[in-house]
Structure 1
Amino acid sequence: MKALIVFSLVLLAAAASVRAGKLAAGNEPVGLYDANDKMELLSNLTFRAAVYEKQKIWLVEFYNSWCGFCQRFAPVWKEFAAGVHPWNEIVTIGVVDCASPDNNPLCRDLEVMSYPTLRVYPLMSKVGDLGQELVAEKTVSSIKSALLDYVEKEQLEGRGNQEWPTLIPYRNSEITNIWARVPDAVQNMILIFEEAGSTMGREVILDFGKVRNIRVRRVTTNNEALAKLLEVSNYPSLAVLKRDLSVVHLIPASKSREGYAASVHAFLSQEGVIEDVAAFRDIPRESRPEQAQNQIEGAVLDPPDAVYRADLENTLRYSLKHEVAMHKVIAGETLEALKMYLRTMASFFPTKPQGTMFLERLRDWVEAAGESIRGEDFLVQVNTLERTFNFVIPENQEWIGCRGSSSKYRGYTCGLWTTFHALTVGAATQTKRRVTPGSELVLHSILMYVRHFFGCADCSKHFQTMAAARHLEAVRGLDDAVLWLWEAHNVVNKRLHGDKTEDPAHPKMQFPSAESCSACSAGDGQWYRPQVLAYLKARYGKTGVCNNLQQCKPVNLGGVSLRHGDKLISPEIDMPKTETAADFSYFDIGLCVLLYLASAVVLVLSYYKFIYRRRHRTKFNIN
């Protein structure tokens, strides 16, 4: 009996483990980097102890694992980190995944508002220091150049570590002064003559920074006197100055960091100065990042082409608890954007009644909050209202329609497009006799959300540019808003088709496809807008939201009729009401309930007065 109980417990534990793993695979963000990369994987638990008050510089990328630009940037960052790894005693590279719920407090405290963000933390930075943004193009060479400029500037202003090799060019024309404050054990001074804007000399200096019995200095074209003295006429050039002031000219195989480092290494080995330079072994050879083949992880869920409640709820949860709550302080235009976003969500987000009440109460709280809101307070209020209205969305609820073939694909970005379409359709399918004030501002509220809260900086910039080019602010009709967003979505799909962020199992195509709506297009790129509008209203309307796979059927528009579920709808006529009670607000429903209760009370009192009391009197008279 005892063995049977133990066996049963083991089975239960195994089942729970499998389920937990399945959930994690479905929705938990998976970072873009791992222990094999030449960088430190930092978190809310490790960041402060690792970065602050240290005798070295930290360069940290704050990223979001679902962000398309972050995914494209990851190979660049890996290549950069590998290239500067020999300098790790001076500069250490780190990463923080702000998509992880555990790291939300850290990213909020450090006021990380967009991704990817590169921040440099100086020598002995204080706890709580936000760091300084490293402004650079997102290329290996540009980031490396900006980092070297930063280190050199720190040394020029007296903030560098005295043990570091100096990146400051030697500007004195007197050759004897170069040996000042250099230990007697150092017998060889490596001199790299180069253009002032070149990074090669500084790279080689840091490459050999761990070798204590040599010195490497750079001399720029500004020091013509020293170049003439040492008979240097070409740039770049490499020379060795010995203690006895004799000069050895070296000829590298190539005019590159690798070529110059190899030449220095060969000279040192020949001279017997050092048998092996550990730093040189770490110097990466010139290579382009490998284009890893897209692999599909496990079986791919292939649900019908429809809108799923789980996708909408996951998007809502991430939007409120991550994107909005990540802001340390929400004020000014950002606060106005939040108010507008919540008004739109409370009015048109297709959710259960308790979800609508949750959004309405959250909207009211933000409206009454004053001139600013702390992101931390906003998150507390979201959590409180979730419990109040029994609308708690599980962290690990799996994506369905927006599930990617790998955890890095689709997910939130897919869900956000789905939500935006649902909002425009929700506004356009209201009954004409009861139109919510502000319905014409749905597109504007979407733009404001993307501008102030959407974490992918590159994506946000592209959307804002497209909104201006396609005159979003000029759109007035509710149906026009539905079609504007559809056209914009197809523009984005066309731009990203074939991009490395594209899910190989879900290529970005123009939609709706011929299979979904044969009446929407002639197949030559020409769209029939009335049919497209009917398709969008059916797919993204409130009655089109599926609770699960079993319930859902794909939207399909063929010929002149639109089949959705078990209903046939003519595309030329107005769409039906989204649900039976769509004409009633919560005030109306509450009033009906109140009248019902009042009627019940009247009936009870009438019964008491006319029936109960009569019987009571009769019995009294008999006795």
Structure 2
Amino acid sequence: MARRCCRATSCSPAKIHTKLRELFISTICLFLCLLFPVTTEADLYTASDQIVILTPENVDRVLVNSTAAMAVEFYASWCGHCIAFSPVWKSLARDIKEWKPAVDLAAIDCASEANAPVCSRFGVRRYPTLKFFHAYSSDDTVGQVFRAISRDERGLRHNLIDLMETHKDPWPPACPPLETATKAEIDNIFENNNVEHLALIFETTNSYVGREVILDLLHYENLAVRRVLSTEEGLVDKLGVTDFPSCYLYTPSGNFTRLKVQNEARTFYSYALRALPGVMRSGKPTTVMSGIIENTTSDLWRQFNRSFVYMADLESTLYYSMRVEMASHPVIDGENLRSLKQYISVLAKFFPGRTVVRNSLISLDKWLSDQDTELSYSSLKNVLDNTAQVPNAAFPDTEMWLACQGSKPHFRKYPCGMWTLFHVLTVQAKDAAIKDRQEVLQAMRSYVHSFFGCRECATHFEIMAAESMSQVGKQNPPELWLWSRHNQVNNRLAGSLSEDPQFPKIQWPPPELCPSCHGVKANGEHTWNLEKTLTFLHFHFSSERLLSDYLEEEAQLLARQKERLNAWQTEQVAKRRAERRAREAQDTITEPPPGQEEEEEEEEGEEEPPTGEEMAQRPGGEAQRVKISEHQPWIKPDTYRPLQSHKKPSIVGLKLWPALDDIVDLDSFVNHHYKAKALRAAAAMSSRVRSRTLQRQVEPQLQASLERGPGLGLGLEPVEPYNLLGQHDPLQKRLLTAQNTGSEEDGALEMYSRINKRRWMSLLSVGFSRLDISLCVILYFLSSACLLAMYLFFKKRLQLRRTKAALL
């Protein structure tokens, strides 16, 4: 029974290790959370929401003695009502972005321990709390609470305007006048203001349209906007105003004309007034749009129609992304390689370009499918240049912007082209009826994350994608998602230094381009007709409406590519030739011809002096050597060095002259050298005396050659080493040719055998001494013994574990 209970309560070692591991991981996570508490300061809002994030460090700078009014939300990140209210506060910030610096929005998280003193200072006890701080507020001001927190933008906007009108003297200079205008003021307005247009908005007492339009156009010059109540009978009767609200333009010449808009609402007035001639955002100089643009002499202005999309812009975008932006990545691997494959795959499927460009994209897509680990941009560039010579394929090789050209060289261009390209791709993907509705958007997201040069722009886009891209599907088409995020970016960048004054960042499409896309609610608020907008997007970015103006013929593009390929091939051939020549020159220096190595080894040693007859027989220049007397005693080999020796050339590519063959045959040496000495000493000397003399001189030379090592003969030049393939060296040849000399030959053969034996011993030992070899053998046996002991130990231990497991 006890055994059964033990079985029931026991766990396997694997389960015990798993539980211990989980407990260890949870302990570490708890420790990290306690050591590094997670801050919640920016849980609901970030800087990209166009909302000022308040902290204890900047609260006084933002709220105290500021020239702009501030509306602050005090919230807690754990509060459900705050979470539900945050999208309204973000939407309001985007809606009144043009009202800065008259008024701005801020937020602070009171759930953060660091922010708790700030919330307590302003008397906040419940969340969310909205407070308004007037311009030039003192440090003891706690703010004015909104009378009621509305859950829609319209109510919050009207409440904010009411609070702004409570400003006391002095009136903030950043805030425009919001009071109503009188007839006397209108008559003298051109005398007191240097403007070209005056817009009068007639409205009722409870209307906010006039004040909203005034704040919307706060940053625009050459335009003044005033509101006139329906009770101002003098102006109403003079202009015959019958509709409220309505807008009239008053010129300096005294003429009044009614502003024609689709709907009498705030958004339509703002669109129409910004489009008036001469109206420009403050700080943006007027740019002449004809002729050559300033700051450049290469970019000519090309006329285009804003109602169309141009293929030149799409191909220019491809050119810049692949040949300029990709070039900043010498090696593309990992996530970047996956992003590139995804980007090219989408282009190969849906790019509605010319045939040669589409063939090039398809070829590039097939090539990328075989790249698994990494690739270099140089190899990618070769594919773009079509070095494989794929037929009827060419990639764009120049930039030429039309609808995306800017009034100055640093405006628009590539960012505009990238937005246009992905708008076109989303529409083409819809026409192809693909199953994955997010394929194009995911490709754009990954490309922007990995390659887009503006890293701040990439960060903002990633935030937008992380918020809502997962909701894209049949009910929320990708075309509408991309359009709405494009408008969010336009709203964020409106008024920035990157905005082109001739192409302001507006909510696109404007009413004049798509009147049916805009609508008005019952309360007069602007609204987008999403169904009509989607229809317009499919129409505007369809492949049938793409214009090919200013594009060259495909034949010209292919011909120019062929010229580049020919030039590239010629360059490659020349490069290979130069590399081969350099390699040959290097081989000539580092690897001398056969026999030269032996000659260079001989140069390191000392040569024996040649005889007088040899000095006389050698060509010019040898006579410069020191002459040796016939009766001069024997000179040791290390006491003589030739005055001239072979050296490596100092100039690359210079070939060595072939070395002179100084090998002397033994018979000729004996016949010439010793015969000459014998004739000069005694003509009648017997052959026996000559033999003894030869033996007495040869034996010391053999002994000296053995002391100097193999390769040196009887007082001769150093000889070549023995060929291991079986070919006899010159020394062996000399000894074999001297077999008829009797005892001298026997001694020479014995010397040769000793030299050969010594060579084989040197080859086998490879420079190791006997002590080294002995130590190696001892260490080998010791390591073998250790391995055997370890094997027996672990084998025994494994048997013990198995025995214990069997007992359990």
Report the TM-score, using the length of structure 2 for normalisation.
0.30
Larger Rg: 2
Of structures 1 and 2, the one with the larger relative CO (CA 8 A, separation 6+) is 1
Report the TM-score, using the length of structure 1 for normalisation.
0.39
